[in-house]
Structure 1
């Protein structure tokens, strides 16, 4: 697999929210790229900050740690944070690790099986 295609982020600002589309594998190797995009948004986005995980194929403990950090930082600033389009296999991992109840899920879940 081409390293460029292994992990990609795309941001979009719409009325009412900032959305980050995450695709590929969010692991230790991609962590610095994810943090570089998310940290300014956590601070500066005065709208709902949304992660769209529809194209996320894999997440490890480092990636989950980043999600928890974003969740805590947005909560501390009274900023809205949602996660949408969670693939079934990622949702199962969130359920097993116990973070699902803390994630504000928006829109339909991505109900595809892998």
Structure 2
């Protein structure tokens, strides 16, 4: 696996954890992303936000992981949203029908 294919950076601000996701979010990096997000999903006292500003590509595996995070956070009554979604990724979210389930700072 090419470690440079995906970048993940976590930043804590007040009651929010922001995960900056860059590069390619696909099957090849799925286990790495799951491992990074699992402990954060359990932090129900903090808002979890994914910043996708530097995301270049996402496949069905990546979308599946997003949906599982949405479900997990919802079942725990914990806030989750995404921000700074690139337009080509936003179009894919619209086409796949997941847009209504993602809170975002930009129109989906």
| TM bin (shorter chain) | over 0.9
Residue by residue over 1:27-53, the C-alpha shift from the partner in whole angstroms, topping out at 9 and shown as x without a partner, is: 000100000010110012521100000
Work out the number of aligned pairs and report it. Answer: 107
When the two structures are superposed, what TM-score results if normalisation uses the length of structure 1? 0.89
- Cα shift readout 1:60-91 (whole Å, capped 9, x = no counterpart): 00000000000000000000001000000000
**Distance across 1 between alignment mates of 2:43 and 2:82:** 18
Q: Are the counterparts in 1 of residues 24 and 55 from structure 2 also a CA contact under 8 Å? A: yes
Following TM superposition, the consecutive aligned residue runs of length 4 or more in structure 1 with deviations greater than 3 angstroms are none
Structure 2 unmatched ranges of 5 or more: none
Residue in 2 aligned with 1:81? 80
* TM-score of the two chains, using structure 2 as the length reference: 0.94
Paired residue for 2:66?
Answer: 67
Unaligned 5+ runs, structure 1 = 110-114
RMSD: 1.4
Counterpart of 1:105 in 2: which secondary structure? coil
Once the two structures are superposed, the pairs formed by residues 7-26 of structure 1 within 5 Å of their partners are: 7-26=6-25
1:29 — aligned with what?
Answer: 28
2:44–2:79 contact (8 Å) kept in structure 1: no
Asked if structure 2 preserves the Cα contact closer than 8 Å seen for 1:50 and 1:83, the reply is yes
